[in-house]
Amino acid sequence: MTSFTVRLGGGNYGNSGSSLFLTRPDGSEVQLGHSIEDFARLRRPIDPRALDFVLFALAVYGCDRAASRDAADDGWTRQFMLQMPVSDPAAWNSARGIAEHMVSFLTGDEWHFEFVAQDCEIFGKEFCKAKRSFRHRTKAGGAAVSLFSGGLDSLIGVIDWLEQNPDQALTLSGAYDPDAEPAGADQERLFAHLQPAYPNRLHRLTSRMGIRGAGAESSYRSRSFCFVSFGVLAAQFLDNGRTLIIPENGSIALNYPLTPARSGSLSTRTVHPYFLQQLRELLAALSVDCTLTNPYEFKTKGEMIAECRNAALLKQAYLESVSCGNRKRYKAHVSGATADHCGCCVPCLYRQAALHRNNWLEGDYGVRIEDPSTWGKLKLGDPNQSVEATKEFVLRRDSDRQVWRTILANGRVTLAHKSDYVSLVQRQRTELETWLVDLGVISVASHD
């Protein structure tokens, strides 16, 4: 079992007002590199319960990044023990079972938590002194908060909400780990399209997360948990209706395994319906007021594009969005690659199929899956690589019954929405199939 104790240090790292350290039993430490400066620049005090939740998510992410899966008995499942200082240990320990189950489902590991009282102020004298010198203040407000990742789904989510609520303002909550991807720059580019289209209706908060120094693990499965936690914190600054919108196409959210070997792995589960339900229960147990919603739970990415409420703006901006889950790592295997999208991870494949469905320009990708000469050292022909797994999923043509059994095996979902989830998977398969056939990756014969 890998054990970590969270130590709240002093200092003013990244103007966050606090420093977080993960301490191992041998005394060695990992420092979490984070910044919540935009929250500190708000004129209102930070809710300590929501701040606890953010620091907890950061600590989970730090543990996830600092411990390699190579040492696990099965090469994947790790065991963690994390001691975490919080402002209300009684509330957190009463909800410990929910937290352990939720995070274990998220990362595919076994987690155990112990919550203890904080032994120092989160925001010390040094920070309070620095805060008084801040000349620029940020704002949060409006009727809701939306996650703003720099991806295509969150871009559509923001556009749709603003079009549906023409008299309301919206707060965008962005976050990024510079070691994983330059998503901060993606968000800047898209915001430059949104701001003039919806003047005086957008507020924006941006946070950073990560660990200082290289991490032992590179799967980043819990990264988006931090992303959601920043959104929860942002929602606490709304006057009414503390709603957090998490725009994610239903196919990625559901994380349907493309092959049996990929069940429960290789993709984020942060927007999976079961994870969101566990998260709602945890927030309620901690008395953190926040309504979580994914309005695209039953939509494919192609359907999101087709139904966007401002197609002209989306078409103007979408090529500057980034959906890739492998954007930095793939470049080490493909000589001279400069594209933001690798072209061969599951999010890239779904994106290309979605754009193809709508007859939109698919954009620039580091590799073209139909052209092995672009693959570099990537072994995209291996059976469990995303390209081959996607082809198998399309050609396998799971029956509705098999789809439902696979969905249940990958995480609990509501029986009342059985037909919605099954239909979603089948429509996603059709979206991919049409693209792969037209691309010539699967033949008409195998298609038939």
- Residue 58's alpha-carbon distances to 20, 61, 303, 372, 435, in angstroms, are 9, 5, 33, 39, 38
Which is more confident, 438 or 215? 438
**Phi and psi (nearest 5°) for 4?**
-135, 145
Pairwise CA distance, residues 428 & 95, whole Å: 36
Judged by average pLDDT, the poorest of 96-105, 148-157, 221-230, 244-253 is 221-230
Q: Return d(Cα 428, Cα 298) in angstroms, integer.
A: 10
Residue 94 counted as domain residue: no
Pairing label, strands 79-86, 170-176: unpaired
CB 174 within 8 A of CB 187: yes
Give me the domain span that covers residue 403.
323-448
Q: Which of 178, 125, 124, 115 is nearest to 150 (CA)?
A: 178
pLDDT in tens, 374-383: 999 999 999 8
pLDDT score for 281: 97
Q: What is the DSSP letter of 35?
A: B
pLDDT of residue 447: 55
In a domain, 334, yes or no: yes
Check residues 22 and 190 and name the one with the higher pLDDT.
190
Alpha helices in 36-110 (DSSP H): 37-40, 48-66, 89-94, 96-107
d(CA 436, CA 356) in angstroms, rounded, equals 10
Q: What is the residue whose two structure tokens read 């933001």?
A: 340
Is residue 330, in this structure, part of any structural domain at all? yes
Neighbours of 228 (CB within 10 A): 24
Number of domains composing the chain? 1
Let me know the angle formed at the C-alpha of 205 by 201 and 210, rounded to the nearest 5 degrees.
Answer: 155
Q: Report pLDDT for 39.
A: 84
Q: Mean pLDDT across the stretch 164-169?
A: 97
d(CA 293, CA 148): 14
pLDDT in tens, 307-355: 999 999 999 999 999 999 888 889 989 988 999 999 999 999 999 999 9
Residues 70-127: tens digit of each pLDDT: 777 776 788 999 999 999 999 999 999 999 999 999 998 999 999 999 887 776 666 6
Sign of CA dihedral 418, 421, 427, 432: negative
Residue 21 counted as domain residue: no
- What's this model's pTM, rounded to 2 decimal places? 0.93
Token digits of residue 346: 């599951």
CA nearest 434: which of 345, 355, 339, 340? 355
3-state secondary structure string across 253-292: HHCCCCCHHHCCCCCCCCCCHHHHHHHHHHHHHCCCCCEE
Q: Does 308 map to a domain?
A: no
Per the domain annotation, does 102 fall within a domain? no
Helices and strands per DSSP (H, E), number in the chain: 17, 10
Q: Is the pLDDT of residue 360 over 50?
A: yes
Phi, psi of 115 (to 5 degrees): -110, 125
394-408 mean pLDDT = 96
Show Cβ contacts of residue 158 under 8 Å, excluding neighbours closer than 6 positions: 146, 148, 170, 172, 194, 247
